[in-house]
Amino acid sequence: MPLRGFADSLNLSVATALCIQQLFHICPDAVGAMSDDERRQLRQSWFPKLATQRILTPKQKKHRLKLKEKIESIKSLSEEAINHNPQLKGKYDNLPQWEAELKEIDESIQIKAMNSVRDLIDNPPAPLSDLRRADEHRTCNVGKKTRKKNEQHWKGMAATANYGGKHGSTASEFRSLAET
């Protein structure tokens, strides 16, 4: 695909999506005949799944992962090994508590995810008209010496400007919507 300027590489799914969108521009009749109700059901199914990836903070994700690992490690042991090791027996006794905590976290994630996308299900955002990355999010992946050497040639180009992005802004947005 022809890309100009400081282009990011595209993975297969993104390249395929761009090609399909271009085909729809060439032949608008190729668009399917999905009803509004079917579209709503699809959003109701997928939007919460997408939001679940943004609900937990990195610290909460790490805690959840460690909890899952503890549960799986205890479940993988034989009854004989557990009975012969007092330390493992103590961990095995904690298994119901850990499973309940994990279940509570997962249920909380589902509820928060649904809360964060509730308005988007009935009022989805408009389709994107320009799929290029916003200038604020483009970067030039070169070393300091190369950047310094080409400073005059690249002056004013979006990819070479040092924008101060708001790291994790979409995750923060989903978390704040989940609490309402």
Residue 135, pLDDT > 50, answer yes
- Give the residue-averaged pLDDT of 140-149: 78
The percentage of residues in the chain with a pLDDT greater than 70, rounded to a whole number, is 79
Class of residue 91 by CB neighbours under 10 A (exposed 0-12, middle 13-18, buried 19+)? middle
Are 75 and 96 a contacting pair, CB within 8 Å?
no
Return all residues near 6 (Cβ < 8 A) that are at least 6 apart: 138, 139, 140, 157, 159, 160
The model's pLDDT over 145-175, given as tens digits with 9 standing for 90+, comes to 887 888 888 877 766 665 444 444 567 777 7
Q: How far apart are the two ends of the chain, measured CA to CA in Å?
A: 43
Q: What is the pTM of this model?
A: 0.58
